[in-house]
Amino acid sequence: MGIEIEFISSEMLDDKNENEKMRFILEKIKKNKILVIEESLSSLEETRLIEETMSQIDEKFSGIEVSTLKERTNRGIRDRLIRFLGGRTGGLTVIGPSRLIKKVKKEPQKILLLAEKKR
């Protein structure tokens, strides 16, 4: 069996509060899925996700790997206004179980990920 990658639209997470979002992400990761989310997680959300993950680590769940590409900042007045009002203008987040993710290399405009499923 291969590695399952699930692409999540930003709309799928929009109606979830922070706890629901964390629960949704962790449930998928615990099923050995790699998630590609059509938005960047905020620093606060990323910290919260890592904290929640740490509290759930056991012999069956070894943790997560997270990499986020943020949309370029200061693109214009519209984007600054959206951010000021608490919105997001784009980005990308890749999250996967530590046991599958072998290597993550983050560059300014791309994420390189090597995943391998042990037999």
- Give yes or no for a contact between 94 and 5, defined as CB atoms under 8 angstroms apart: no
- Give yes or no for a contact between 13 and 66, defined as CB atoms under 8 angstroms apart: no
pLDDT in tens, 73-94: 556 666 666 666 666 557 899 9
**Two tokens, residue 65:** 């790997």
- Alpha carbon distances (Å) from 68 to 73, 83, 93, 111: 14, 17, 4, 8
Which residues on adjacent β-strands are paired with residue 104?
113
Domain ranges of the chain: 4-115
pLDDT in tens, 21-72: 999 999 999 999 999 999 888 888 899 999 999 999 998 899 999 998 876 6
